[in-house]
Amino acid sequence: MIPSDPEAADGAEFTAEGGHGAVPTLGVEAGSGAPARRAWPLYEVFVRSKRGLNHVHVGSLHAPDDEMALHSARDVYTRRNEGVSIWVVRADDITASSPAEKDPFFAPAGDKVYRHPTFYAIPDEVPHL
Amino acid sequence: MTIAEQGLSAVFEDTIAADQRIEPRDWMPEDYRRTLIRQIAQHAHSEIIGMQPEGNWILRAPSLRRKAILLAKVQDEAGHGMYLYAAAEALGVDREEITEKLIENRQKYSSIFNYPTPSYADVGVIGWLVDGAAICNQVPLCRCSYGPYARAMIRICKEESFHQRQGYELLLAMVNGTDAQREMVQESTDRFWWPSLMMFGPPDGDSPNSAQSMAWGIKRHTNDELRQRFVDMTVPQAEVLGVTLPDPGLRWNAERGRHDFSQPDWDEFKGVVAGSGPCNLQRLAHRRRAHEAGAWVREAAQAYAEKQAARTEKGAAA
């Protein structure tokens, strides 16, 4: 159990996990993990790095509306010409497969090795195949 | 633990053992989640607070070139904080909540940012030593078992390289300048050397929690390993600059093939983290002020979004 008393940080253990340097690991609140009041919705951000490539998920951010989300995405995720196009999508609007059902959900593809070219044995002397 | 949980736990352990990544919607042990939330939140806070020491010099940068570079660097720190808050949020914590924990001093940030930056040479030395140490810490985090954290670290590490190089280049310019400028570089190095070594945390013997983090694939190297790596990297860089690292115990150990060096003052370190560093109060007060002074902007953006949404709704109904 992690103590929530901030004074406990005094005798706390420290580690380099701050990335930028050591921070205490005991006597630090981890956060409730409970969904809290929040006015601004979460957006997922997708960036096309150059023409001819797909948009790729790069992270997320909060914004009051779609337009602000797009501007913030530009500032947060493309400060060094990382993109030529950005999509922002409300996280609420994404329907995702469930990790718990991963195996049954993808099972139909699991036993169909004949869908891969390497399933077929072709003599070495046959060219261009 | 229920039978269902035992199954999930086995999947988690197998994923870690195979050196694969855990993603936000996967089942994970509650301690793993809490450890990550704490670590990523405090890492994010460090980036955000980390804007202050160097931000101090933006208005006094000696040229437009240096000013543009420093602005870009400080903006990056804000960006790093944003990537990390997003990674923490994917674990189910709310950004507003962890921001409040920071300004109420219930979560911490790196001790290094509680040291002042009275000299312009500090901008260079922070880039060289502080960001250099950060890179040693952060590169292994690119392989952290928690996917969103690892991905954020890949972006951050690319940008940190710019931070370190701009700092070193600044110092090169100064050491090729006047005697007074060379003295400034030496004086700043003297102040930042020990706090930089402290960035890796206490010696391994005093860091029992590290073992769990290493077992989970969150941490990849011990504090002492990373500190040694940093010292070995930095010594030849100091030689090129012609500055002396302020440790009489620092010498090459041919037998080990590494440098021997002295330990920093761990009592000072604990004091600084606990709140008695030179700038703790100032850093936190500034962060709180910025948060409160920016409230009207957040509220105005929200009000505008609500107004627009209402209009759209009305238009659709008509």
Asked if residue B37 lies in contact with residue A30, where contact means CB atoms within 8 angstroms, the answer is: yes
- A23–B27 C-beta distance less than 8 A: no
Residue A21 has pLDDT above 70, yes or no: no
Residue A20, pLDDT score? 60
List B residues 240-269 in contact with A (Cβ-Cβ < 8 A).
Answer: 269
Three-state SS string over B77-139 comes to HHHHHHHHHHHHHCCCCCHHHHHHHHHCCCCCCCHHHHCCCCCCHHHHHHHHHHHHHHHHHHC
Residue A3, pLDDT score? 37
Q: Going by C-beta distance under 8 Å and a sequence separation of 6 or more, which residues neighbour residue B218?
A: A17, B32, B35, B36, B39, B144, B145, B146
Average pLDDT over chain B reads 93
| C-alpha–C-alpha distance, residues B166 and B161, integer Å | 9
| C-alpha–C-alpha distance, residues B25 and B90, integer Å | 8
Q: Say what the alpha-carbon torsion angle B285, A22, B209, B215 is, to the nearest 10 degrees.
A: 120
List A residues 12-31 in contact with B (Cβ-Cβ < 8 A).
Answer: 12-26, 28-31
Which one, of B309, B315, B138, B135, lies nearest residue B237 by Cα?
B135
b/e map of B138-177 (b: 16 or more CB within 10 Å)? bbbbbebbbbbbbbbbebbbebbebbbebbbebbbebbee
List B residues 19-48 in contact with A (Cβ-Cβ < 8 A).
Answer: 23, 25-27, 33-35, 37-39, 41-43, 46-47
| C-alpha–C-alpha distance, residues A109 and A115, integer Å | 9
Residue A100, pLDDT score? 67
Confidence bin at B25 (pLDDT 50/70/90): confident
Average pLDDT over chain A reads 79
A89 has a chain B CB within 8 A of its CB: no
Confidence bin at A36 (pLDDT 50/70/90): very low
A101 has a chain B CB within 8 A of its CB: no
Residue B95 has pLDDT above 80, yes or no: yes
Q: How far is A88 from chain B (nearest CA, A)?
A: 14
Q: Going by C-beta distance under 8 Å and a sequence separation of 6 or more, which residues neighbour residue A72?
A: A61, A63
Q: Going by C-beta distance under 8 Å and a sequence separation of 6 or more, which residues neighbour residue B252?
A: B235, B259, B260
0.90 cut: is pTM over it? no
| C-alpha–C-alpha distance, residues A42 and A64, integer Å | 9
How high is the ipTM of this complex? 0.84
- Choose between B209 and B219: higher pLDDT: B219
- A10–B110 C-beta distance less than 8 A: no
Q: How far is B177 from chain A (nearest CA, A)?
A: 30
- Per-residue pLDDT tens digits for B57-70: 999 999 999 999 99
Task: Give the residue-averaged pLDDT of A101-109.
Answer: 79
Phi, psi of A126, rounded to the nearest 5 degrees: -80, 120
- B47–A30 C-beta distance less than 8 A: no
Task: Give the residue-averaged pLDDT of B147-162.
Answer: 93
Residue B26, pLDDT score? 87
Residue A70, pLDDT score? 97
- A16–B137 C-beta distance less than 8 A: yes
Find the length of chain B.
Answer: 318
- B201–A22 C-beta distance less than 8 A: yes
Q: Kindly provide the residue ranges of all beta strands, DSSP E only, lying in chain A, ordered along the sequence.
A: 14-15, 23-24, 42-48, 55-62, 85-90
Contacts of A44 in chain B (CB under 8 A): none
- Choose between A3 and A44: higher pLDDT: A44
Q: How far is A119 from chain B (nearest CA, A)?
A: 27
Residue A42 has pLDDT above 70, yes or no: yes
Least confident of A108-122, B10-24, B31-45, B204-218: B204-218
Task: Give the residue-averaged pLDDT of B293-306.
Answer: 92
Asked if residue B229 lies in contact with residue B136, where contact means CB atoms within 8 angstroms, the answer is: yes
Residue A37, pLDDT score? 45
Residue A15, pLDDT score? 61
The closest CB to that of A18, out of B43, B93, B152, belongs to: B43
Confidence bin at B126 (pLDDT 50/70/90): very high
Least confident of A18-22, A60-64, B160-164: A18-22
Contacts of B46 in chain A (CB under 8 A): 18-21, 23
Which one-letter DSSP state was computed for residue B145? Answer: S
Confidence bin at B6 (pLDDT 50/70/90): confident
Highest-pLDDT range among A110-119, B64-73, B88-97: B64-73
